[in-house]
Structure 1
Amino acid sequence: MQKLVDGIHEFQRNYFSQDQKLFETLVDGQSPLALFITCSDSRINPNHLTQTKPGELFIQRTAGNIVPPYGAVFGGEAATIEYAVSALKVKDIIVCGHSHCGAMGGLLDPALLEKMPAVKSYLQHAESTRRIVDENYSHLTDPQKRLVLTVQENVLVQIENLKTHPSVAAAVSRGELKLHGWVYKFETGEVYNYNPDEGQFLPIQDEEVVLSQPEVNRTLPPI
């Protein structure tokens, strides 16, 4: 806890003083560039990863970067998505999975979740991911490769869930919103973007690739 307290003092002494004018402008409201949906995992820092400042990302974090389908859960996830699209008018939504995801590991091995019923129940929103991997990739037996594949497939499944939200579907149909599927490999710093033309997650290289519209056309893997 002391590390956190020391960090607050450091922030106030140095970081805040350097960007005080920025923080003062935030009083007038927010106009984020994108809604960034990612995992709760402590190894991911969306602002650090994208080098964005306060006010530039609207962030939603859930176990396994899961987006429950519209109507399945009227909770914080649906409210965050709706507010980002309808009130803040974000132009892009990114669903970002990551390497070594514990939630996806639990999805592949439910025995790990026997003492965590809430987590096990929440992962039902990734059941399609599990079925895709089990039924379409039974030949892939290496545990690590299987986990990497599961992380990728789950990003695509959650994008499909995202499209069931009325605010998202309407904005996409008007051409006012783009959806992006990313996978972050935190041990190397690499970020992969789903490229529908190739049916794979490929390293982000330029704006044209980043702004592609994911339509699921699976080839997969590698990463």
Structure 2
Amino acid sequence: MKKLIQGLLDFQRHGLPAYRATFARLAHGQSPDCLFIACSDSRVVPNLFVSTHPGDLFVMRNVGNMVPPSDSAGLSLSDRSEAAALEFSLLNLPVEDVVVCGHSGCGAMKAVLAGYNDQKTPNLSSWLDIGRPALAAMANTKVGEGLPPADRLSQLNVLQQLEHLRSYPLVRERLEAGTLRLHGWWFDIGHARVHVYRADLERFIPIDELEGERMLAELGAKSANDSNSSAA
């Protein structure tokens, strides 16, 4: 707590002047175009490694960066906080992209791998069930080959949560209309490097300069196509 208070005072003295105009503008509303789903792990700081500012990201964090699947009517089959954040961001914000970002050394994935089920923590044990389907996929895919088992499971869990997102009718409708994109990312803590899942390669690859430029070009091409479609 001491560190938090000292940090707050430091921000008020040195950081706030640079952001005063930003917060004054944000007081009237927010317009982030990306929902970023990340783990609660203290080492994973989305706004830091993607260099964003207040108002740029709508962030949802929980243990294991997970999203419970929905039934056919769009009602979450487990905890509804994540579904509420999904609905709010898609219906009330200009969100066009959803990123699910896992990470190396994830305690939730280590627990799933170990078959964690402790009666002293019934809520945690139940929550981890959302990630268990990814465990079954390990025997049938090459995703994450060569990584420690928990890190490999973490990458597979990202893909599993993307599938859970697709179970929501609201998400499927937007995907079919071409107004929403889903992205699977994975943060390597030790190297401070983000990897992206490439479906064409069936693996996660580092977002280096070359890959970053490719991704930007792809987004640019889509924007141009959307503009041409609207004009027509």
Shared fold (TM-score, shorter chain, > 0.5): yes
- Structure 2 letter corresponding to 1:102: G
CA contact (8 A) 1:86 1:167 kept: no
Residue 104 of structure 1 corresponds to 109
Larger mean CA deviation between 162-171 and 77-86 belongs to: 162-171
CA displacement at 1:97 relative to structure 2: 0.1
Q: Which of the residues 173, 195, 198 maps onto 1:195?
A: 198
Residue correspondence of structure 1 range 56-205 to structure 2 within 5 A:
56-70=56-70, 71-73=76-78, 75-111=80-116, 113=118, 115-133=120-138, 135-136=139-140, 145-204=148-207, 205=211
CA contact (8 A) 2:33 2:93 kept: no
Ranges in structure 1 where 5+ consecutive residues have no aligned partner: 214-223
Number of residues of Structure 1 aligned to a counterpart in Structure 2: 210
In 1, the alpha carbon distance for the partners of 2:133 and 2:183 equals: 19
CA contact (8 A) 1:37 1:95 kept: yes
Ranges in structure 2 where 5+ consecutive residues have no aligned partner: 71-75, 220-232
Indicate the SS of the match to 2:85.
helix
CA displacement at 1:168 relative to structure 2: 1.3
In 2, the alpha carbon distance for the partners of 1:190 and 1:74 equals: 31
CA displacement at 1:74 relative to structure 2: 5.4
- Structure 2 letter corresponding to 1:190: R
Residue 219 of structure 1 corresponds to none
Tell me the C-alpha RMSD between the 2 structures.
2.3
Paired-residue identity, %: 37
When residues 120 and 112 of structure 1 are mapped into structure 2, their CA distance, relative to the original with a 3 A threshold, is closer
- 1:169-212 deviation per Cα after TM superposition (whole angstroms, max 9, x unaligned): 11111101100000000111111000011001011122433787
- 1:28-49 deviation per Cα after TM superposition (whole angstroms, max 9, x unaligned): 2111030000101011111001
In 2, the alpha carbon distance for the partners of 1:162 and 1:4 equals: 34
Residue 221 of structure 1 corresponds to none
- Structure 2 letter corresponding to 1:69: P
Residue 220 of structure 1 corresponds to none
- 1:104-162 deviation per Cα after TM superposition (whole angstroms, max 9, x unaligned): 000000247454221111011112111112x437xx999x6211210110000000001
Indicate the SS of the match to 1:110.
coil
CA contact (8 A) 1:34 1:56 kept: yes
When residues 7 and 79 of structure 1 are mapped into structure 2, their CA distance, relative to the original with a 3 A threshold, is same
Residue correspondence of structure 1 range 27-42 to structure 2 within 5 A:
27-42=27-42
In 2, the alpha carbon distance for the partners of 1:150 and 1:79 equals: 26
CA contact (8 A) 1:193 1:210 kept: no
- 1:55-93 deviation per Cα after TM superposition (whole angstroms, max 9, x unaligned): 000000011101100220352100101111111020100
